[in-house]
Structure 1
Amino acid sequence: MDDDAVLNRIGDLVDEEHRLRDHISSGAELGDEDRARLDEIERQLDQCWDLLRQRRAREEYGADPDGATARPEDTVEHYRQ
């Protein structure tokens, strides 16, 4: 997955996240399925951002960005912000 594909995936996830959060801000409650999906979106976004950072760092230091791989959710979830 190249940088553009990662950025497109991030954009799609952010759009879906905003739609769910707008639903909440309108006073509606999310069902169990939507809450689970929102949690999943947040984890997937963390993975995508991590992958993009890896790709850019590899490129900056002369390595092949395609060598970057998505790390497991439990790894990227525990990074300090």
Structure 2
Amino acid sequence: MDEKDILARIDEYVGEEQRLRDRYQRGDLDRDEEHQRLEHLEVALDQCWDLLRRRRARIDAGADPGDADAHVRPPDEVEGYLQ
């Protein structure tokens, strides 16, 4: 997956998030469904942003951004960061 693919996936997730919120506001979706899917999207977006940052850091360091270390990390690893 290259940077273009990651950014496309981010756009896809953000679009889905907006559609979910619109459906909820229209009453086409109950709060539990919306909340569950939004939680999933938040984690997926965090994973994408994490991967993108790591790939860019590898490029800045002169390393191959597509190296084996440049993969999507598990949710518990990505969500466990202190900010």
TM over 0.5: yes
SS in 1 for 2:66: helix
TM-score by length of 1: 0.85
Aligned length: 80
CA distance in 1, matches of 2:82, 2:5: 25
Contact 2:55–2:65 under 8 Å retained in 1? yes
CA distance in 2, matches of 1:22, 1:36: 15
1:75 and 2:71 equivalent?
no
User: Cα offset for 1:23?
Assistant: 3.3
CA distance in 2, matches of 1:36, 1:80: 23
User: Cα offset for 1:74?
Assistant: 0.4
CA distance in 1, matches of 2:62, 2:15: 33
User: Cα offset for 1:2?
Assistant: 0.1
User: Cα offset for 1:27?
Assistant: 6.3
CA distance in 2, matches of 1:63, 1:45: 24
- 1:44 matched residue in structure 2: 44
Contact 2:21–2:34 under 8 Å retained in 1? no
1:10 and 2:30 equivalent?
no
- 2:60 matched residue in structure 1: 60
- 2:32 matched residue in structure 1: 32
- Percent of aligned pairs sharing the same letter: 52
Give the gaps of 5 or more residues in structure 1: none
TM-score by length of 2: 0.83
CA distance in 1, matches of 2:30, 2:11: 22
